[in-house]
Amino acid sequence: MKIVKGLAPFLLLIFAVSMIIGCSHTDKTDVEGVITNELDLLKNLDSDTAQKYISYKELFPDATEKTERSKEVEEVFSLFFQDFDYRILRIKVDKDKKEASANLKLTTIDARALARDYTISHLEEAILNAADSASQNTEEQSDSMEDRYLILNELLKDHTYKTVETDCTLTLQNISTDGEEWEIKRTHDLENSLVGGLITYLGDSDLLTPEETLTVYLNTLKTMDQDQMSNYLGLESLLSTSDTAKNSIASALVEQMHKNFDFKITDSTVESYQAVIQTEITTFDSDAILKAYQEELDEYLSSPEAVIDGAQKRYNHSLELLLRNIEKNTGTLTHPAVFVLTNDGASWKLQDDGHSIGAGIFGNLSVTPVAEEETAEQ
């Protein structure tokens, strides 16, 4: 009996500890169940769960035109979460505060790579839109939420992104007054973690370096058609014309640009919010074209044929000579060019109205060498 009495306090202690451990284990199991249920729905591409934890407006808070959540937007989240996975590493419950926290390892697609591709595509689109509207300012263009999600949609369909693992901490609250009803707290950090940090990456003004940004600008120039190039480079007098002969010359110049234009970044310096980039621009040899044209024109003008032809025919022949020399040109020239970019807190932007780029590419042919006044005399 004495032995039994001596063991009684010890047994009570073991019982109490067992009860505490049991309750703690039960709490952790409940919390784990809530987390598993919610994240499994996300993993299984449940659109309601995605909408519950991720505000589609949060990705692009600066979009100038808002739109309702469409099927296209929901498809973006489905594509994004198709490789989503998670592992619960640790759960801690504080019954007194009715709070719990959980450390997780999330598997998502490489959000940084996606954000970089998006930023490049968005800039390309802004430049081409500016060229279409005869405005060099990429900031003046319509920038709707739907347009941005369409870019993401296209990228996620056309690219296969690798997966990355990131750490995440969830906080839960017991919202029941007399029982156990755990609910995950929705926060900006959680939202950002679930999309692999995509919100942070999209808001990073240095996601693309000044050199990478300039590369996008200059590569996009290579894709422009005649009208876009005329608008963006300020070459309306040269490239924008309804005159058949002049239009043929403009088309030939644009073809020469597409065939020969290239660039190489040789140096760059960045101080605070300004970057100065040294480049070498390679383009068609406008000097050689003009020299050959002028020699042929002088020979023609000194001939009896030119006197007989009269002003209008001389003018037409001058255009024909210029066109022929542009079309047969195979020479290129390389010259230095300096570009300045500034960071406005959103991204790096090229500080150029297009005219200096146009002059650098088209050289002495930025304006037509054929004088208009030659048509005046009939």
pLDDT digits (tens, 9 = 90+) for 230-281: 888 877 767 667 788 888 998 999 999 999 999 999 999 999 999 999 999 9
Give the C-alpha separation, 377 to 312, whole Å.
7
Q: Give the three-state DSSP class for 47.
A: helix
Nearest to 278 by CA among 359, 340, 212: 340
Query: Are 297 and 348 in contact, with CB atoms under 8 Å apart?
Result: no
**pLDDT in the model for residue 92:** 95
Q: What is the pLDDT of residue 352?
A: 76
pLDDT for the residue numbered 174: 93
Question: Is the pLDDT confidence value at 186 over 80?
Answer: yes
Task: Kindly write down the DSSP assignment for every residue of 94-130, as one continuous string.
Answer: ETTTTEEEEEEEEEEE-HHHHHHHHHHHHHHHHHHHH
Of the listed ranges 58-62, 238-242, 268-272, 293-297, the least confidently predicted one is 238-242
Residue percentage of the chain with pLDDT more than 70: 86
Residue 16 above 50 pLDDT? no
pLDDT, tens digit (0-9, with 9 covering 90-100), for 114-135: 999 999 999 999 999 988 886 5
**pLDDT average, residue stretch 40-47:** 86
Tokens 């430049």, residue located: 127
Residue 361 confidence (pLDDT) above 70: yes
19, pLDDT greater than 60:
no
Mean pLDDT of the chain: 86
Summarize pLDDT for 99-110 with one digit per residue, the tens. Answer: 999 999 999 999
What pLDDT band is residue 180 in, cutting at 50, 70 and 90? confident
In which band, very low, low, confident or very high, does the pLDDT at 373 lie, cut at 50, 70 and 90?
Answer: very low
CA distance 320 to 294: 12
Task: Give percent above pLDDT 90 in the chain.
Answer: 58
What's the rounded Cα separation, in Å, for the pair 87 and 110? 18
- By the 10 Å C-beta count (0-12 exposed, 13-18 middle, 19+ buried), 243 is classed as exposed
Residue 176 to residue 183: CA distance in whole angstroms: 10
CA-to-CA distance for 200 and 111, rounded, in angstroms? 9
Alpha-carbon distance of 49 to 170, in angstroms, equals 16
Please name which of 348, 343, 210, 347 lies closest in space to residue 267, comparing C-alpha atoms. Answer: 210
Q: Is the Cα dihedral 160, 162, 163, 166 positive or negative?
A: negative
Q: What is the pLDDT of residue 21?
A: 45
Q: Which two tokens mark 156? A: 């996620």
Q: Which residue has the higher pLDDT, 5 or 87?
A: 87
Confidence class for position 205, pLDDT limits 50, 70, 90: very high
Distances (CA, A) of 86 to 21, 169, 201, 226, 251: 26, 12, 21, 51, 56
CB-based contact 235:365 (threshold 8 Å): no
Provide the sign of the torsion angle of the four alpha carbons 123, 125, 128, 130, taken in this order. negative
| pLDDT band, residue 5 (cuts 50/70/90) | low
Helix spans in the chain (H)? 2-43, 47-53, 71-80, 111-132, 145-158, 188-194, 198-202, 210-223, 226-232, 236-239, 244-260, 286-301, 304-327, 355-362
**pLDDT for residue 197 is more than 50:** yes
Whether residue 337 has pLDDT greater than 60: yes
- Each domain of the chain, given as residue ranges in start order, spans 18-202, 210-375
Query: What's the pLDDT at 80?
Result: 92
